[in-house]
Structure 1
Amino acid sequence: MTKNKYIVREEDHKSRIDKLLADQNREISRSRVQSWITDAYVTVNGKPVKANYKCQQGDLIEWIIPKAEPLSLVPEAIALDIVYEDKDILVVNKPKGMVVHPSAGHQHGTLVHALLYHCTDLSGINGVERPGIVHRLDKDTSGLLVVAKHDEAHQQLAEQLVQKTMKRTYQALVHGEIAHEKGMIEAPIGRDPKDRQKMSVVENGKEAITHFRVLRAYPDYSHVECQLETGRTHQIRVHMKYIGYPIVGDPKYGPRKTLQANGQVLHAKELRFYHPISKQPMHFSTDLPAYFQELLAYIQKLY
């Protein structure tokens, strides 16, 4: 295991060490960094510290990235819609209703369980429960995501997310008729102070930018295309609610009176990135799933 070093600069003075290290290791979650600190893989000036330690200019931070634990999840024979695969990556079209990785209440039937059955080689950067997972989709959001088969591929793809060179385009059905053709939503997102299970636009949140284009507007609904410039939790769902056009079927951010869709009508339709090893441009697109097409057909008949 290689020891990494970083000397705290003036602009990082008084930053929390867990946040600073997460920024230095952008493909790693802050919670995982906190586990490194708890397990004494991180020292400041040669001594262990707590996750809330406020860094001082000139501090020498040293940390070791521990090797991923052997996978303990049991592979499950779940069918996958694989759009592309080579020795470095997979591109999967995730169905609505599938959870991406195990979590409380979702210990079986996830995309990760299916991936482990399909291939044994997956990157270990995000730990035992998230092998290969570079970016996520919510349970009821369908569509494309890329999976890394080894750590080098994972690091390269994660850097593209940071540099905003990975392009993710979604389609959604929202409540309300949007009068203008396109727009940009730039509003910071963080935990909702009134409900920790939700995200919201908050003053001290993280930068979040969504571009949208109206594909077709109806008297009470709009079919829109959204492109993420950043990738915050629930970003499109929160942003569309924020401007007054919540996603149809969204149980968390939408109105109670909505069309029956078993969750938000949101599909990750296109994915563009550079291959992490060959550097060739990659572009993938999927058809809208049947449930989405059926809702559009229903609305067209209404008007």
Structure 2
Amino acid sequence: MFQYEVIKEGLTVEELLRTKWRLGKKLVHELRMAKAVTLEDGTPVLWNEPLKVGTHLEFTFEIPTSNYLPTMNCDIPIQYEDEHCLIVSKPKGMATHPNDIWDRNTCMNHVMAHIKSNGGKYAEHVHRLDLGTKGLLLVAKHPIAKSIFDRMIEEKTIIRTYEAEVQGIVRQDEGVINEPIGKDRHHATRRVVSKTGQHAVTHFKVVKRLKNTTIVHLVLETGRTHQIRVHMSHIGHPIVGDTMYNARKTAKDNYELHAIQLEFEHPFLNKVVVVKDQGAIH
């Protein structure tokens, strides 16, 4: 259950669900049949009746149970939380979600421990971070939020910023890499720039030039597997230590890629949310 405060004069429930939130027909139908939307005092609301600014709508509906097995405790930092979503800082080396029934220590298992300890039962990640990537991950706490955040990811209105140290000196202060990415036929997990691959766009901006490397901030328009790693390698600046993508081996024998910021207009709270992760590379 949650509340929504109307901020636009004359908005109807129908317009809120279909036009502002752009929920799918099936979900809208389910909410209508369940009489899920009422006024704050429980009074039924007509879906096509204009509402006054400041009206509080109450949403009450059955929330399904997510099937992630909770860990004993949530051992990952929670950087932001409200009744609709939370943002956690995924550690490096931890998977975003289970890939088989034996996976019990993924980010979503820890998230579910937190959710259950607070009386909840639903949590679904909105995007993913690679195993070797650390940083901010957005998680929806109910199906309406999941539907809206999924669309926002598709429409690129959730701005995801990453930081990486790459080999060599990047001469351009900023740029856009627009190259399709597909699977490498000769390697099970590797990806390559390929004409037959999926559309992929990465924006980069130089933050600092060091002696033999460059610190860059990157913003994803799309979310392809290994996208930043593939794109930076493609322009001749692989992430330091990323030997899968042609970087030199380092003493750490791994790469550093950090999801440092999430920014979006919150669809329920009518405000812009900006969350930054601590511990940048430099």
- Same fold per superposition (TM over 0.5): yes
The counterpart of 1:202, out of the listed 184, 194, 200, is 194
The counterpart of 1:260, out of the listed 251, 256, 265, is 251
Change (3 A) 1:198 1:105: farther
Q: Secondary structure at the match of 1:252?
A: helix
Change (3 A) 1:246 1:70: closer
Query: Which segments of 5 or more consecutive residues in structure 2 lack a partner in the other structure?
Result: 1-23, 25-62
After superposition, residues 276-291 of structure 1 pair within 5 angstroms as 276-289=267-280
The counterpart of 1:110, out of the listed 95, 106, 110, is 106
What letter corresponds to residue 180 of structure 1 in structure 2?
Q
CA distance, structure 2, for counterparts of residue 277 and residue 139 of structure 1: 31
CA distance, structure 1, for counterparts of residue 246 and residue 64 of structure 2: 39
CA distance, structure 1, for counterparts of residue 136 and residue 148 of structure 2: 18
CA deviations 1:237-270 (Å, max 9, x no partner) are 0100111100012242243x33333532111111
Indicate if the aligned counterparts of 2:243 and 2:249 stay in contact, CA closer than 8 A. no
CA distance, structure 2, for counterparts of residue 83 and residue 170 of structure 1: 16
Change (3 A) 1:70 1:93: closer
CA distance, structure 2, for counterparts of residue 73 and residue 172 of structure 1: 32
Query: Which segments of 5 or more consecutive residues in structure 1 lack a partner in the other structure?
Result: 1-24, 26-66, 124-130, 294-303
Residue equivalent to 2:260: 269
Indicate if the aligned counterparts of 1:248 and 1:261 stay in contact, CA closer than 8 A. no
- The alignment-based identity, stated in percent, is 37
What letter corresponds to residue 269 of structure 2 in structure 1?
S
Change (3 A) 1:209 1:106: farther
CA RMSD of aligned residues (A): 2.3
Q: TM-score normalised to the size of structure 2?
A: 0.71
The number of aligned residues is: 219
Residue equivalent to 2:16: none
CA deviations 1:68-88 (Å, max 9, x no partner) are 776262433241211111111
Q: What's the CA shift for 1:122?
A: 5.3
What letter corresponds to residue 134 of structure 1 in structure 2?
V
After superposition, residues 150-299 of structure 1 pair within 5 angstroms as 150-255=142-247, 257-289=248-280, 292-293=281-282
CA distance, structure 2, for counterparts of residue 113 and residue 243 of structure 1: 37
Residue equivalent to 1:119: 115
CA distance, structure 2, for counterparts of residue 221 and residue 146 of structure 1: 30
Q: What's the CA shift for 1:104?
A: 4.7
Residue equivalent to 1:132: 124
Q: Secondary structure at the match of 2:110?
A: helix
> Which has the larger displacement, 86-95 or 76-85?
76-85
CA distance, structure 2, for counterparts of residue 70 and residue 209 of structure 1: 32
What letter corresponds to residue 104 of structure 2 in structure 1?
H
The counterpart of 2:72, out of the listed 76, 86, 94, is 76
Indicate if the aligned counterparts of 1:122 and 1:132 stay in contact, CA closer than 8 A. no
Indicate if the aligned counterparts of 1:192 and 1:200 stay in contact, CA closer than 8 A. yes
Q: What's the CA shift for 1:277?
A: 2.0
What letter corresponds to residue 94 of structure 1 in structure 2?
K
Q: Secondary structure at the match of 1:119?
A: helix
CA distance, structure 1, for counterparts of residue 86 and residue 94 of structure 2: 17
CA distance, structure 1, for counterparts of residue 133 and residue 66 of structure 2: 30
What letter corresponds to residue 108 of structure 1 in structure 2?
R
CA distance, structure 1, for counterparts of residue 91 and residue 221 of structure 2: 23
The counterpart of 1:87, out of the listed 83, 86, 96, is 83
CA distance, structure 1, for counterparts of residue 172 and residue 102 of structure 2: 40
Indicate if the aligned counterparts of 1:76 and 1:109 stay in contact, CA closer than 8 A. no
Q: TM-score normalised to the size of structure 1?
A: 0.67
Indicate if the aligned counterparts of 1:248 and 1:254 stay in contact, CA closer than 8 A. no
Q: What's the CA shift for 1:177?
A: 1.1
Indicate if the aligned counterparts of 2:239 and 2:255 stay in contact, CA closer than 8 A. yes
CA deviations 1:160-205 (Å, max 9, x no partner) are 0111111001110011111221111000011112223111110011
Change (3 A) 1:72 1:115: closer
